[in-house]
Amino acid sequence: MSACNDDHCITCADEGVEMRVLERGAAGVSVCVTEDGGRADVMTELVGVVEDGDLVLVHAGVAIARLRRA
């Protein structure tokens, strides 16, 4: 998993981080990227099928929600 976002760890608190799907992978694991370029393998099975470019809310290595486009 990518490092913490400045002074604020993405898994130490009950907070999620918005990430963009860079590359949909096999077995429900996709490569995602944070705002500041941090990459991580993210399990996406809880948010259904994702496509490259989709925005998801990630917590502790798992996407728990999709961000809706305005």
Partner 1 sequence: MRFVDEFRDAELGRVLAGQIAATVEPGRRYKVMEVCGGHTHTIYKYGVADLLPPNVELVHGPGCPVCVIPMGRVDDALAIARRENVILTSFGDMMRVPGGDGTLLETKAAGADVRMVYSPLDALRIARDNPGREVVFFAVGFETTAPSTALTLKRAKAEGVENFSVFCNHVTIVPPLRALLESPDLRLDGFIGPGHVATVVGVRPFEFIPADYGKPVVVSGFEPLDVLQSVHMLLRQLVDGRCEVENQYTRVVPYEGNPRALEVLEEVFELRPHFEWRGLGFISHSGLKLSEGYASFDTELRFDIPGVRVADPKACQCGEVLKGVIKPWECKVFGTACTPERPIGTCMVSSEGACAAYYNYGRFSREPAAV
Q: Which residues bind partner 1 (CB under 8 A)?
A: 1-2, 4, 7-16, 18, 20, 35, 43, 45-48, 55, 57, 59-62, 64-68, 70
Among candidates 34, 36, 32, 38, which has minimal Cα distance to 47?
A: 32
> Smallest distance, Å, CB 21 to partner 1?
13
**Are the beta carbons of 51 and 24 closer than 8 angstroms?**
yes
Q: Which two tokens stand for residue 16?
A: 């999620």
**Three-state DSSP state, 59:** strand
- Residue 11 or residue 24: which is nearer to partner 1 going by CB? 11
Cβ nearer to partner 1, comparing 24 with 61: 61
